[in-house]
Amino acid sequence: MRIKRHFVTIDGRWGPRQVHYRRCGDGPALLLLHQSPRSSAEFVELMERWGESFSVIAPDHPGYGISDPLGDPAANMEAFAEALAEFIEAIGLESVAVYGLHTGAGMAVALAARHPERVSCLVANGFVVFEEHERQSFLANYLPPFRPAWDGSHLAWLWARHRDQLIFFPWYDRTSAARMDLSMPDPEYLHEAVIDFLRADDNYRVGYAAAFRYRGDLALRYLRVPALITAAEQDPLRDHLDRIQRTSEQVEVRPGGSLEKTLEMALEFLKRHPGADVPEVRTTSAAPGCLWNRMVDVRGGQLRVQCDFEADGLPVLIQHGAGGSAETVGPIAAAIRSHRPVIVVELPGHGESDSTHPDEAVTVARYREALTDVLDGLGVDQVDVYGQWGGGLVALDLARTHAGRVQSLAISGLQYLADGEPQSLLASYAPAIVPVWHGGHLLETWHLVRDQSLYWPWFRPSSDSIIRADPQIDAESVHTRVVAMLKAGPNWRHACRSFFQYPVRAQLNALRAPILLCAAAWDPNRPHTQAAATAVGACQYRDLPDDEADWATTLFEFFGH
């Protein structure tokens, strides 16, 4: 069963914001609410199963996954409930059955308490009922701030926290009394949970804190919709069910068995109280005053696209390189959008885009086909194009094969490699980053990305490989690039392979569109870019300022306003 992803734009109590959600199946509406600090991605398998009975809709909560935060670090559970009500209305639902897990369980109860007309029933799986001393302990110790450190040590902490969260409850109480009877999952599972945490970043604390403060046990006393409150036998919140002293007649408190048995019980209850029918998906509308997201269908899947069409003029298509994302080119896109329409495309398998081709089929031509699918889907006939590093080769291929569609082309950090270089890079530049039980792959990625700004090539840290410029190694910048590379996973290797094998010289010499080659002093590909400009007479060359936010001036001088 195919799950499709969408964005809906809401202009409500918290101003313009976007919610990302997954949807599949047929039948009455069922809303799935995830736990913190996860996203709707944790429900993919469950959606495929329950989609046989329902139209299943799983949003990323505000500030989690790739949904915009509410902008209020003190948002309580009632605020999250109101945000959910706005979402339900925005996608055209009259009423929904709701299944919530842990934090999502509290949100389900809060939503039903405030908007009973919107909720046909709810299942709260893993419902927290704190005693006051527990509440204060959790608020004081469970949610330390998350800030990138120059040495990547925040990633070591993050991995250890996720392991201990499956060993102790709460994770910071490392005593035998807090030890849980659970098996440690494989590293791939932990890695996916870490990626979701990185999506939320420091905002992970907001939804958690709202759940810790919420007196959901009081709300159960007055609930007016059918509700099942449960927890699986190995859930650390199973004992909390005994703390529920009084409920309305609509509420049933029933312990679950195994996880599978608990889900079967939940499904049976949800089927007895179905929500309303689900309307067709609405087209994503623009969010004013910013780059906004939409998912665009292409051959083989969906790509995440950021765009802003408020300014006048020809759109500028921006393409990141291997292991990049919309966030890694964010400063450039933000500078350009003030003057020209902007389209940022995340390559297949990068950022939040689907992997649209088998690993062995990843080529620059396939990436270019995905770009043309995006432009067709957006109804955009002509663009100026800016590509960064390997993304410049995708842009070059687009300009070569669709000359009438690309008016002008600018590439920074062009990988114009000398004879013999591609073979060396193919062998060593892009090692496999494989999740390991101790989390060392996170630090491996951190130092790999950091060394990309210190040496060319990064894997040869000798004195003659030093990049002789102020390095781009501030913790925030490296962290952004690391998160993008971790999201890309093996796809960054496939992208690098396709870029290193691309016939750059032949394609440059055959190009008829105007082309600007440019690079900042710190760019490891600056010598390659200058060599290309010297070798191909039709290319212009410009130096770029150190700050990427200032590159728009140079690009506009070339593109024209």
Q: Is 174 exposed, middle or buried (0-12, 13-18, 19+ CB in 10 A)?
A: exposed
Residue that is written with structure tokens 């020209």 in the block: 340
pLDDT tens-place string over residues 259-311? 999 999 999 999 999 999 999 999 999 999 899 999 999 999 999 999 999 99
Instruction: Give the pLDDT of residue 361.
Output: 84
Residue 123 lies in a domain: yes
Share of the chain above pLDDT 70, in %: 100
In terms of domains, do 407 and 329 share one?
Answer: yes
Whether residue 483 lies inside any domain: the answer is: no
> Which one, of 90, 341, 103, lies nearest residue 207 by Cα?
103
Can you tell me the distance from the alpha carbon of 120 to that of 226, in angstroms, rounded to the nearest whole number?
A: 7
Q: Which of 301, 299, 341, 303 is nearest to 320 (CA)?
A: 303
Whether the Cβ atoms of residue 81 and residue 216 lie closer than 8 Å to each other: no
Residue 357 pLDDT grade (very low, low, confident, very high; cuts 50, 70, 90): confident
Residues 231 and 109 in one domain: yes
Contact residues for 421 (Cβ-Cβ < 8 A; gap 6+) = none
Same domain for 267 and 303, yes or no, is: no
Q: If you average pLDDT over every residue of the chain, what do you get?
A: 96
**Dihedral sign, Cα of residue 302, residue 307, residue 312, residue 316:** negative
Question: What confidence score (pLDDT) does residue 537 get?
Answer: 78
Identify whether residues 21 and 91 lie together within a single domain: yes
DSSP annotation of 117 reads G
Is the confidence at residue 360, as pLDDT, over 80? no
Q: Any idea what the CATH number is for the domain that residue 221 is in?
A: 3.40.50.1820
Write out pLDDT tens, residues 13-26: 999 999 999 999 99
Same domain for 227 and 327, yes or no, is: no
Domain of residue 368 covers 292-422+491-559
pLDDT value for 175: 97
Does residue 398 share a domain with residue 503? yes
Pick left, alpha or beta for residue 307 (phi over 0 → left; psi -120 to 50 → alpha; otherwise beta).
beta
Confidence label for 324 from pLDDT (cuts 50, 70 and 90)? very high
Q: How far is CA 259 from CA 47, 63, 101, 179, 196, in A?
A: 16, 28, 12, 19, 22
265 and 407 part of one domain: no
Same domain, 267 and 304: no
Q: Report the predicted TM-score, pTM, of the whole model to 2 decimal places.
A: 0.96
Instruction: Name, in order, each residue with C-beta under 8 angstroms of 376's C-beta and a sequence gap of 6 or more.
Output: none
Task: Name the token pair of 4.
Answer: 């499709």
> What band does 418 get if pLDDT is binned at 50, 70 and 90?
confident
Is 168 within a domain? no
Predicted pLDDT of residue 497: 94
Other Cβ atoms less than 10 A from the Cβ of 149: the count is: 14
Which tens digit of pLDDT belongs to each residue from 374-404?
Answer: 999 999 999 999 999 999 999 999 999 998 8
Distance CA 378, CA 341 (A): 13
- Would you say residue 189 lies in a domain? no
Angle among Cα 211, 217, 218 to the nearest 5 degrees reads: 110
| Confidence grade of residue 561 (pLDDT, cut at 50, 70, 90) | low
CA–CA separation, 180 and 183 (whole Å): 9
489: left (phi over 0), alpha (psi -120 to 50) or beta: left
Position 322 in a domain:
yes
Q: What is the rounded distance in angstroms from the CA atom of residue 439 to the CA atom of residue 155?
A: 8
Count of the separate structural domains present in the chain: 2
Residue 89 inside a domain? The answer is yes
- pLDDT value for 512: 86
- Evaluate whether residue 262 is within a structural domain: yes
Residues 431/408, Cβ–Cβ less than 8 Å? no
The answer to whether residues 333 and 266 belong to one domain is no
Are residues 239 and 308 located together in one domain of the fold?
no
Amino acid letter for position 423: Q
pLDDT of 359 reads 75
What gap in Å lies between CA 158 and CA 173, rounded to an integer? 16
On whether the CB atoms of residues 230 and 124 are closer than 8 A, the answer is yes
Looking at the structure, do residues 224 and 334 belong to the same domain, yes or no? no
pLDDT digits (tens, 9 = 90+) for 86-107: 999 999 999 999 999 999 999 9
Backbone angles phi, psi at 502, to 5 degrees: -75, 140
Residue 390: CB atoms within 10 A of its CB come to 29
State the amino acid at position 116 in one-letter form. P
- Degrees to nearest 5, angle at CA 355 with 380 and 486: 110
Token digits for 414? Answer: 């062009």
Decide if 158 contacts 197 (C-beta within 8 A).
yes
Report the alpha-carbon distance of residue 387 to residue 412 in Å, rounded. 7
| 285 inside domain | no
> What pLDDT, on the 0 to 100 scale, is given for residue 216?
94
The verdict on whether omega for the bond into residue 37 sits within 30 degrees of 0, i.e. cis, is: yes
Co-location of 334 and 410 in the same domain: yes
- The whole-angstrom separation of Cα 433 and Cα 456 is 20
Q: Which of 505, 10, 3 is nearest to 288 (CA)?
A: 10
Q: What are the backbone angles phi and psi of residue 384, rounded to the nearest 5°?
A: -90, 150
Strand pairing category for 227-230 and 251-253: parallel
Token digits for 66?
Answer: 């790739």
CA 123 to chain centre: 27
